[in-house]
Structure 1
Amino acid sequence: MRALKVTKRGGALLGWGAVAWLLAACGVDSGASCGPASGRVTEVLDGDTVVLESGERVRYLLADAPERTGAGGDCFGPEAHAFNRGLVEGRRVTLAYGEACEDRYGRLLAYVSVEGREVNTLLVERGHACVLHVPPAGRSRRAEFESLEAQARLARRGVWGACAPVPCQR
């Protein structure tokens, strides 16, 4: 794409970055530029990461599930993986992006929904994941997720009742 040229008299050049900034300033959601708005999940890697048919890896924002691999895996890792798999594997999901598009491993960061249910919140409220906030990603919904985690902890759901220590707690 080329820059948009304003008239010779104006002498200014308006680049696509400026256009994107103007659209964002006017309230147009630029989060869609992070990646696809939807896709079919072909593989569930663990409790908080999936692979889409397009090959993109998606890491759930604000949810940190115990690992299912490694030296024996973490307490509740297989359960978190199975829960996530039951929700999304082979299904079309919708993706909503937050304040950052990718993590340091190149995975898309998104809120993932299936049939109108957001998987990120389900994982935290059912105790299959702890809250993980890596600024700036998830800043706008951090308090909401921390409240869901506190409720799961009090009710001793998932990791909060099954594990000591809780593997995803930092």
Structure 2
Amino acid sequence: MNAGAVALALSLVACPIGRTETDSDSSDDTDTTTDELPCAPVSSPCGPSTALVTRVIDGDTVELEGGERVRYLMIDTPESTQGKLDCFGHEAAELNRSLVEGEVVDLEYDAECMDIYGRLLAYVRTEEGEINRALVRRGYACVYHIPPNGDDRVAEFRSLEYEAQTLGAGLWGACSIPTCVH
């Protein structure tokens, strides 16, 4: 077994990740699902477990300090890049920027590490909570499930989306036909 594999195995035993959630009826805008990391983070076989976000590409994609691009799992935001601007695309990109740009984030990967464009696929967390969930809850993103990633979280994300739709939050109140609906 190589040194990296030994370090990863030891950290998984010595550094359990505890997931806590608060009441989903909270009126707080930030998502409070967090990973408590009691010791130093390790790298995943997919990529870094913790990284600095140096640039926000759009509402659901960021660039890390090492140059890697990360596409958020389970969500899709309206487009705001490459000459295409969908209804609420600019707002989604700006909210994402305000939440993660210049921040150190935790990255949680699922079954598949990369998409066809070479971007890492991850759930992204700050000290404030999970960004993927927050964007859906606030109405800045739609659910976008591509199996096998997210199979165990589809109901959770659909519930957040339904809540945003019902409240007319974000794109659900601003756009006649949200472009990210799949």
TM-score of the two chains, using structure 1 as the length reference: 0.80
Q: Deviations over 1:57-109 (max 9, x none)?
A: 00000010101134550000000000000000011000011121111111110
For structure 2, which runs of at least 5 residues remain unmatched after alignment? 6-15, 18-42
2: distance between equivalents of 1:90 and 1:69? 20
Residue 141 (structure 2) aligned to one of 129, 132, 157: 129
Q: Is contact 1:76–1:159 with CA below 8 Å preserved after alignment?
A: yes
Matched residue, 1:114: 126
Q: Deviations over 1:33-66 (max 9, x none)?
A: 1110010000000000000001110000001010
Is 1:61 matched with 2:51? no
Is 1:165 matched with 2:180? no
4+ long deviations beyond 6 Å: none
2: distance between equivalents of 1:39 and 1:72? 29
May I ask how many residue pairs the two structures share in their alignment?
Answer: 147
**Deviation at residue 127 of structure 1 after TM alignment:** 0.4
Q: Deviations over 1:3-61 (max 9, x none)?
A: xxxxxxxxxxxxx9xxxxxxxxxxx99x9211100100000000000000011100000
Is 1:146 matched with 2:158? yes
Q: Is contact 1:99–1:139 with CA below 8 Å preserved after alignment?
A: no
Matched residue, 2:44: 32
Larger radius of gyration: 1
The 3 A distance-change label for structure 1 pair 75 and 103 is: same
Q: Is contact 1:75–1:167 with CA below 8 Å preserved after alignment?
A: yes
Other structure's SS at 1:85 match: helix
The 3 A distance-change label for structure 1 pair 39 and 71 is: closer
**Structure with the higher fraction of residues in helix conformation:** 1
Other structure's SS at 2:45 match: helix
Pairwise CA RMSD: 2.2
The 3 A distance-change label for structure 1 pair 131 and 81 is: same
